[in-house]
Amino acid sequence: MTTDLAVIVGDPHLAERTWASHRELTGDSLYSFWQAVEIAKKRYLPLVLLGDIFDSKSVSSAVLQFFCNCMDNLKRHHIPVYYIQGNHDIVSPPWPSVHAWPQHVDGMRFRLEDDTTGVVLQCFGLDWAPVSSYAEQLAAIPTEVDVLFTHQAWYEFGKMGSSATAECQMLPRGVTVVTGDLHIPMMTTGTAANGECVSLVSPGALCMQAINEPQQHYVYVLQKDDAGKVCFAPERLQTRQVHEFVCTTQEEFDRGIAAIAAIKKEAPPAGAVFDISSPIVRITYPITVSQDSYMRLNAAIARSGGHLFTSPRMEEAAVSQIDVEAVQAPTLLTLSDAIAMLTEEAQTVRDLADRLLGETEALLPFLTKFNAEYMKEEPCELIQSS
């Protein structure tokens, strides 16, 4: 049997827009945070925020108003809120202090307790800090602490997150570390300075901020079982739907176009104040498909009402064929294909290259050099003209 003690929220990154390259995507982080608040209310559990509550050190009045409304809601239901700061939003005084309800627990010990069963966890909070000073803070954690809530990149998670990482060896003894920063739900273990086991837990971010991040997102319910072990139950959030298509032939690309056009927007979530019903569509396809590929994709996405992410790629089979034919047919590739292979940029770059090629024949020597040298040897160096 387990006892629920808190709802853990990692990296909300609250902002109207959290996608730097797709500014039309709005409301994702706000809707996910709203769900976390509703889960805490439904379960009548404290909410613990693991830093990067806001996406930057400069917060808009609209986002602050949203945050304060959420805190008003939790206060009315007597749901405690504990928080630490992350590297994205660490300021003095902390932004959440605009509301009196959430408690900043940096360098503080606090208890999570179930009044019915009497089950208790002794907890401690630490804001993000440079690793040089963070090691000293870890060494000073009180001995009775069961769970450390923090926001830091950890060596045991691998080379993801910040370049400088903390290590479990910095901890004087074994504890459970629940951390923000990673953006990926993950659990692993390490070894403390005294040889005891350290459990490392990352609940991940509340929503996608880039196309290569996980599509599924969660809050974690912190629990303690009858044996005294700390454990976690993930609760999945409703997030924007993502459709992915990987095409290797013209036929697959044509089928992908038809499938994209047939995608239907989801109904807006009941009770939500943010509409995330427009889907994300990502398609990867060979650069050898038809020249009107991007125009067809835009027409299909207009029907589905989604947001398009394209990844033109040169498939291995096509590369091998070009490698054989490059010398025999030095203008086999178009300029757009060459630039796409060198930069992996979006279709708009390829369209620009097509227009340039149509305007002047001066670029043909570049194609010849690209096919003859790049495909057989090393990439040719492009030098800016004077």
> pTM for this one?
0.78
- CA 336 to mean position of chain CA atoms: 31
Is 384 part of a structural domain of the chain?
no
For the segment 255-288, what is each residue's pLDDT rounded down to a tens digit? Answer: 999 999 999 887 766 666 677 888 999 998 887 7
Is 367 part of a structural domain of the chain?
yes
Is there a single domain that holds both residue 271 and residue 296? yes
pLDDT of residue 286: 84
pLDDT-derived band of residue 361, with 50, 70 and 90 as boundaries? Answer: low
Is there a single domain that holds both residue 295 and residue 227? no
Range of the domain at 163: 2-236
Q: How many domains does the chain have?
A: 2
Tokens of 274: 């943010």
Cβ pair 161, 151 in contact under 8 A: no
- Last residue of some domain: 198, 214, 236? 236
Is 381 part of a structural domain of the chain?
no
Is 383 part of a structural domain of the chain?
no
pLDDT of residue 328: 37
Is there a single domain that holds both residue 247 and residue 215? no
Is there a single domain that holds both residue 206 and residue 258? no
Note if the bond before 96 is cis, omega within 30 degrees. no
Cβ pair 8, 178 in contact under 8 A: yes
Residue 200's H or E segment, with its range, is: strand 197-202
Q: Among the listed ranges 93-97, 130-134, 254-258, 338-342, which one has the minimum average pLDDT value? A: 338-342
In 3D, which of 213, 216, 282 has the Cα closest to residue 246?
A: 282
- Find residue 225's DSSP bridge partners: 2
Is there a single domain that holds both residue 153 and residue 275? no
Is 311 part of a structural domain of the chain?
yes
Is there a single domain that holds both residue 178 and residue 259? no
Is there a single domain that holds both residue 187 and residue 133? yes
Is 385 part of a structural domain of the chain?
no
Mean pLDDT computed over 207-236 = 93
Tokens of 36: 């976390």
Rounded-to-10 torsion of CA 129, 135, 140, 145 = 80
Tokens of 210: 């880039």
Mean pLDDT computed over 309-313 = 75
DSSP 89: T
Is 379 part of a structural domain of the chain?
no
